[in-house]
Each structure stands twice: as structure tokens, then as C-alpha cells.
């Protein structure tokens, strides 16, 4: 294990990210966004966030923990905003660059290679629950956002004790814990909502499914595929049970007193 907090997550966000890029190349570019949204597989959630991040075509935007770049690709296509992608898994960062032509760096959220106040806005989707150092990630987001910059978040929050089996390496905060972390990092919460991750258009779901089928055809007998499927299946079951909730939030960077 090298970058992430479990080997299962490395399969899910590393190996499968590379396989996703390969499958999209085989099927066509129109498959890239639906297949590339790995935590935020809902266009309505992306729209909700983007509508509230005060974006213009000239905004400097960071996608923190961008995965293979589906959400950033969506933002470029739908809003004409080209985000910079940061992602710790090289396979993901490479895919974001190759599939969407976006600038992409290999970096964990806790060590972003950007100067202070480099961005007007950022989003961080399905990432805080994959790292135990949430405070470190939020501190970095605070540092790289300008004063008053907006942060869009998708976080899977635990509404009650989670029944096993749990996805390996994930740490889901409760909503009060998340709000405390945001406040301590210097963010003011502006608005929240709950995402329905099952509300995508049929064509979006069909394309995401076709990419998955192509990965199975090529790599379905690789144990890392089963491992990754088990991980995402566990998150799916917790969401379906109502133990986890897909929390959306807009937070505003507040200048810290000197
Ligand atoms: C559920 S995926 C979401 C990917 C993407 N944001 C999306 O919505 O499609 C979680 C992502 O967080 C990344 N990740 C895990 N630990 C991280 C960390 N410490 N800093 C930044 N990203 C991290 C994973 O590599 C993975 O790409």
C-alpha cells in the first residue's frame, strides 16, 4: 500500500481508474463523464453544487480528489469552467488529463502543490470520507482558496452506527463532526442539501453501465475488480439502508484572524 488508507481503496481508485480510462477509450468520449463520476454519480448533485459556487468562465477552480475527472469534465462541458484536478492516485490523475484535457496533478488533499489563495472556488466530492485526516485536507483547502472563496462538498455522513461489513479504509463523519471540522478549518457553512445519487438520466446510467461491462469483459477475472466492487457495493448498501446519507454543502472560506 502506498498512497491511500487501504489496499482495497487503491484497487478501487487506482487500478480501476486506469481500467476506466481504457474502457472509455474503447467506447468513445461520450462515455467519459458518466463513467468518470465515481463518488458523485448524479448530474443533479453536480448541478446543485455548481449553481452555488459563484462560477464564471474565468474562475480558478480546483477539483480536490478528482478521481478520473468526471465531475471536472462535466463542469468544463456544462459550465465552460476548466478546473485543475488534484488526485493522489496516478492512474486517476492521468485519466483526468487524458480523457478531459484538464490540468491534473498527483497530490493528496493534505499536501496541495499550490500557492495560497490560488483558487476562487473548489469542490471535493466523495473524498473526505476516504481519509482519516479530514482536518488536514480542509486546512489545505482553506489555504489555497482566496478569502470568500466557495467550497462545494459531497460527503457521505453517518446518521447512525454503521452495520458491518464496512468499506475498508473509509471513515464516515457524522454531520455534527463534519460541521465542527468545517468551522475549525475556517469555513462558514452557507447551504446544505441531500443528494439523490440514483436520479441520473437513463442515458447517463446506460453509459456508466456500458463502461462497467467493458471493464468486466477485459478484467472481470482480476481479483482487484472483485475487491473494488465489494468496496463500492458496501457503500451502496449503507446508503440504501439509510445509515449513510449523501450530504451536499456549500461552505465559504472565512479569513482567519491574523
Ligand atoms: C469516491 S472517489 C471520488 C472521486 C471524484 N471526486 C468523483 O466524484 O468522481 C474518492 C477519491 O478520493 C481520492 N482520495 C483518497 N484519499 C485522498 C486524499 N487523502 N486526498 C485526496 N484525494 C483522496 C481517491 O483516490 C478517489 O479518487
**Tens place of pLDDT per residue across the chain (258 aa):** 467 988 889 999 999 999 999 999 999 999 999 999 976 678 999 999 999 999 999 999 999 999 999 999 999 999 999 999 999 999 999 999 999 999 999 999 999 999 999 999 999 999 999 999 999 999 999 999 999 999 999 999 999 999 999 999 999 999 999 999 999 999 999 999 999 888 889 999 999 999 999 999 999 999 999 999 999 999 999 999 999 999 999 999 997 655
Domains of the chain and any CATH numbers: 7-252 (3.40.50.150)
Task: Find the Cα–Cα–Cα–Cα dihedral 18, 21, 23, 24, rounded to 10°.
Answer: 170
**Do 229 and 130 meet the contact criterion of CB atoms below 8 Å apart?**
no
The crossing angle, in degrees rounded to 10, of helices 90-100 and 70-79 is 20
Question: Whose CA is closest to atom 23 on ligand 1?
Answer: 65
**36, 108, 124, 127: which to mutate for ligand 1, most atoms within 8 A of CB?**
127
Mapped onto helix, strand or coil, the DSSP state of residue 46 is: helix
Question: Whose CA is closest to atom 25 on ligand 1?
Answer: 13
pLDDT of residue 1: 47
Question: Residue 90 to residues 9, 15, 32, 48, 95: CA-CA distances in angstroms?
Answer: 13, 10, 18, 29, 8
pLDDT of residue 158: 97
**10, 68, 75, 88: which to mutate for ligand 1, most atoms within 8 A of CB?**
88
Question: Whose CA is closest to atom 22 on ligand 1?
Answer: 65
Dist. CA 3–CA 90, nearest whole Å? 10
Question: Whose CA is closest to atom 19 on ligand 1?
Answer: 108
pLDDT of residue 257: 58
Ligand 1 atom nearest residue 63's Cα: 6
**Do 224 and 215 meet the contact criterion of CB atoms below 8 Å apart?**
no
Question: Whose CA is closest to atom 10 on ligand 1?
Answer: 127
226-243: b (≥16 Cβ within 10 Å) or e: ebbbebeebbeebbeeeb
- How far does the centroid of ligand 1 lie from the alpha carbon of residue 253, in Å? 21
Q: Is 127 in the pocket of ligand 1 (CB under 6 A)?
A: yes
pLDDT of residue 197: 85
- How far does the centroid of ligand 1 lie from the alpha carbon of residue 258, in Å? 32
pLDDT of residue 3: 76
Cell numbers placing 158: 453517518
Q: Is 87 in the pocket of ligand 1 (CB under 6 A)?
A: yes
Amino acid at each position: 500500500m502506498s498512497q491511500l488508507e487501504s489496499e482495497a481503496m487503491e484497487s478501487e481508485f487506482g487500478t480501476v481508474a486506469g481500467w476506466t480510462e481504457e474502457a472509455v477509450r474503447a467506447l468513445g468520449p461520450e462515455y467519459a463523464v458518466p463513467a468518470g463520476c465515481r463518488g458523485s454519480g448524479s448530474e443533479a448533485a453536480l448541478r446543485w453544487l455548481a449553481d452555488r459556487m459563484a462560477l464564471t468562465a474565468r474562475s480558478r477552480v480546483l477539483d480536490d480528489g478528482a478521481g478520473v475527472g468526471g465531475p471536472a469534465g462535466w463542469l468544463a462541458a456544462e459550465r465552460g469552467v476548466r478546473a485543475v484536478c488534484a488526485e493522489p492516485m496516478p492512474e486517476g490523475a492521468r485519466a483526468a488529463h487524458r480523457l478531459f484535457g484538464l490540468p491534473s496533478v498527483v497530490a493528496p488533499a493534505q499536501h496541495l502543490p499550490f500557492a495560497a489563495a490560488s483558487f476562487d472556488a473548489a469542490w471535493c466530492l466523495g473524498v473526505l470520507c476516504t481519509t482519516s485526516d479530514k482536518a488536514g485536507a480542509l486546512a489545505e483547502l482553506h489555504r489555497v482558496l482566496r478569502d470568500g472563496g466557495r467550497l462545494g462538498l459531497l460527503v457521505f455522513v453517518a446518521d447512525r452506527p454503521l452495520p458491518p461489513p464496512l468499506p475498508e479504509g473509509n471513515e464516515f463523519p457524522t454531520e455534527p463532526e463534519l460541521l465542527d471540522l468545517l468551522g475549525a478549518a475556517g469555513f462558514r457553512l452557507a447551504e446544505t442539501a441531500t443528494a439523490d445519487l440514483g436520479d441520473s438520466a437513463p442515458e447517463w446510467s446506460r453509459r456508466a453501465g456500458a463502461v462497467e461491462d467493458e471493464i468486466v469483459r477485459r478484467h472481470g477475472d482480476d481479483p482487484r475488480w472483485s475487491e473494488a466492487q465489494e468496496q463500492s457495493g458496501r457503500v451502496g448498501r449503507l446508503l440504501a439502508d439509510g445509515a449513510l446519507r449523501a450530504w451536499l454543502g456549500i461552505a465559504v472560506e472565512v479569513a482567519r484572524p491574523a
